[in-house]
């Protein structure tokens, strides 16, 4: 039996906010943002789009591409740090209802920007032990609703969107070897966080909507180390080398991070898929959005050796080596 990605889909909300737009209300410039991040613009959800709505839109496209009916989905995992509700119900349950799936397990997975890679690995394992069933894996985020638009050191980075894949098995086939690494380092928990959970008792004067807090330098350094480490170790595990990879789909956090990873790994930057110039950092959505774009542009041939790798708050970091579309 082999497990594979049967179809991909994505959704980016139509409203685009450029760096010049930000510079009208913030002490920043297109020149500064682009030279420090590689980002020119990002998509921002309007009032009628929320994380579950964008997730459902991306999921419908993935189902259509996979030619799978909602009734055939047995599991929905939504990787997100920006669920519709603060704690429950899960965004995945809302997506399940929106798609009209029945007898389907549904839950959210919180591993920040590495969440899609974590969720994909869970879906792969679930499909292996539930032969004939299909899983929907979604990364969806509305980060623009939790950033402090007065903080030029963080708000310029983020955008909204959703990406989805359908995972299923092929009974009479043996796919090529794949492998995943899921890691975390909670010592860096304070490098990116958002207050407002139950860590502290409610305080008088607490902000009604706590904002994302980011220590950019620390996260930058961790990102470069962790993406290179995960990719190298995946290649080592599979008995191959990074130079043999056709494409790396790294979390689209900052173009300078990806350039530094390429330098550290002595790989040409062209091996790294880049779309953050027009998406910004969409957290758990960034890898499936990039994958879907590459598939639809015909840039991902069957058998291509690829690594998906992400890092994020936690700190988490994770990667999957696969020969497209086999997991
Ligand atoms: O999914 C994971 C999420 N997080 C990340 O990936 C974040 C990773 N880190 C980064 O991407 C970068 O650290 C940032 C883009 C956030 C910041 O870039 P930096 O090159 O590390 O800038 P910095 O924080 O060292 O700031 C340098 C200067 C400071 O001014 P002074 O103190 O030197 O006068 C900042 O106040 O640049 C200033 N600055 C800005 N200036 C204009 C910071 N943000 C801006 C801005 N526009 N937007």
Ligand 1 atom at minimal distance to the Cα of residue 152:
48
Neighbours of 192 (CB within 10 A): 22
In a shared domain, residues 54 and 185: no
Helices and strands, counts by H and E, the chain: 9, 13
pLDDT digits (tens, 9 = 90+) for 159-200: 999 999 999 999 888 889 999 999 999 999 999 999 888 888
Give how far Cα 212 sits from Cα of 21, 174, 215, 281, Å.
21, 44, 10, 13
The SS3 call for residue 271 is helix
In a shared domain, residues 115 and 8: yes
In a shared domain, residues 187 and 164: no
The answer on pLDDT for 35 being more than 80 is: yes
Tell me, in angstroms, the distance from the centre of ligand 1 to residue 189's CA: 19
Does ligand 1 have an atom closer than 6 angstroms to the CB of 167? no
In a shared domain, residues 107 and 189: no
Dist. CA 311–CA 227, nearest whole Å: 7
pLDDT at 43: 98
Tell me, in angstroms, the distance from the centre of ligand 1 to residue 78's CA: 30
pTM given for the model: 0.97
pLDDT at 72: 96
The answer on pLDDT for 207 being more than 70 is: no
In a shared domain, residues 27 and 154: yes
The SS3 call for residue 200 is coil
pLDDT digits (tens, 9 = 90+) for 111-150: 999 999 999 999 999 999 999 999 999 999 999 999 999 9
Which residues belong to the active site? 113, 251, 281
Given ligand 1 and candidates 216, 224, 226, 286, which is best to mutate, with the most ligand atoms within 8 Å of its CB?
Answer: 216
Boundary of a domain, candidates 146, 170, 194: 170
The model's confidence at residue 253, banded by pLDDT at 50, 70 and 90, is very high
In a shared domain, residues 107 and 8: yes
Question: How many CA atoms, within 13 angstroms, populate the side-chain half-sphere of residue 160?
Answer: 25
Largest CA distance in the chain: 62
Does ligand 1 have an atom closer than 6 angstroms to the CB of 194? no
264 Ramachandran zone, left/alpha/beta (phi>0; psi -120 to 50)? alpha
In a shared domain, residues 185 and 319: yes
CATH number, domain with residue 86: 3.40.47.10
Tell me, in angstroms, the distance from the centre of ligand 1 to residue 275's CA: 20
Dist. CA 232–CA 251, nearest whole Å: 16
Tell me, in angstroms, the distance from the centre of ligand 1 to residue 251's CA: 18
Boundary of a domain, candidates 142, 170, 198: 170
Residue nearest atom 28 in ligand 1 by C-alpha distance: 153
Tally of domains in the chain: 2
The model's confidence at residue 227, banded by pLDDT at 50, 70 and 90, is very high
Q: Among positive and negative, which fits the CA dihedral 104, 105, 110, 115?
A: negative
In a shared domain, residues 252 and 150: no
Does ligand 1 have an atom closer than 6 angstroms to the CB of 34? no
Does ligand 1 have an atom closer than 6 angstroms to the CB of 226? no
Dist. CA 34–CA 26, nearest whole Å: 15
pLDDT at 239: 96
In a shared domain, residues 285 and 317: yes
In a shared domain, residues 158 and 224: no
pLDDT at 180: 98
Residue ranges making up the domain that contains 261: 179-323
Boundary of a domain, candidates 170, 198, 220: 170
Classify residue 26 as exposed, middle or buried by CB count within 10 Å of its CB (0-12, 13-18, 19+). middle
Classify residue 33 as exposed, middle or buried by CB count within 10 Å of its CB (0-12, 13-18, 19+). buried
pLDDT digits (tens, 9 = 90+) for 256-305: 999 999 999 999 999 999 999 999 999 999 999 999 999 999 999 999 99
Residue nearest atom 2 in ligand 1 by C-alpha distance: 312
Tell me, in angstroms, the distance from the centre of ligand 1 to residue 194's CA: 18
Does ligand 1 have an atom closer than 6 angstroms to the CB of 217? yes
276 contacts 78 by C-beta, under 8 angstroms:
no
In a shared domain, residues 122 and 198: no
Average pLDDT, the chain: 96
In a shared domain, residues 165 and 188: no
205 Ramachandran zone, left/alpha/beta (phi>0; psi -120 to 50)? left
Ligand 1 atom at minimal distance to the Cα of residue 283:
1
Given ligand 1 and candidates 114, 153, 213, 313, which is best to mutate, with the most ligand atoms within 8 Å of its CB?
Answer: 153
Tell me, in angstroms, the distance from the centre of ligand 1 to residue 114's CA: 21
132 Ramachandran zone, left/alpha/beta (phi>0; psi -120 to 50)? left
Dist. CA 41–CA 159, nearest whole Å: 8
Residue nearest atom 12 in ligand 1 by C-alpha distance: 216
């Amino acid at each position: 039996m082999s497990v594979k990605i049967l179809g991909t889909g994505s959704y980016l909300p139509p409203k685009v906010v450029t760096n010049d737009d930000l510079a009208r209300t913030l002490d920043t410039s297109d020149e500064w943002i682009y030279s420090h991040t590689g980002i020119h613009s990002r998509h921002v959800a309007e009032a009628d789009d929320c994380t579950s709505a964008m997730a459902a839109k991306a999921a419908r496209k993935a189902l259509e591409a996979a030619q799978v009916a909602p009734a055939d989905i047995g599991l929905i995992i939504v990787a997100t740090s920006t669920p519709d509700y603060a704690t429950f119900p899960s965004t995945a349950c809302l997506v399940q209802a929106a798609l009209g799936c029945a007898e389907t397990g549904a839950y959210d997975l919180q591993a920040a920007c590495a969440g899609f890679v974590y969720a994909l690995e869970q879906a792969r394992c679930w499909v292996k032990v539930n032969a004939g069933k299909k899983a929907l894996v979604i990364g969806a985020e509305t980060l623009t609703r939790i950033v402090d638009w007065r903080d030029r050191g963080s708000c310029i980075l983020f955008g909204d969107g959703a990406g989805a894949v359908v995972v299923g098995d092929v009974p009479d086939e043996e796919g090529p070897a794949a492998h995943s690494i899921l890691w975390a380092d909670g010592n860096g928990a304070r490098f990116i966080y958002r207050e407002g959970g139950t860590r502290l008792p409610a305080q008088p004067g607490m902000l009604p909507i706590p904002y994302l807090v980011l220590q950019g330098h620390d996260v930058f350094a961790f990102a470069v180390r962790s993406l290179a480490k995960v990719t190298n170790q995946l290649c080592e595990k599979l008995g191959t080398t990074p130079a043999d990879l056709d494409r790396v789909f790294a979390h689209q956090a900052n173009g300078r991070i990806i350039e530094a990873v390429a330098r550290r790994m002595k790989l040409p930057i062209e091996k790294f898929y880049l779309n953050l110039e027009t998406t910004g950092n969409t957290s758990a959505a960034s890898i499936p959005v990039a994958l879907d774009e590459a598939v639809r542009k015909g840039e991902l041939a069957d058998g291509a050796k690829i690594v998906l790798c992400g890092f994020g708050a936690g700190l988490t970091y994770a990667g999957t080596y696969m020969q497209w579309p086999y997991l």
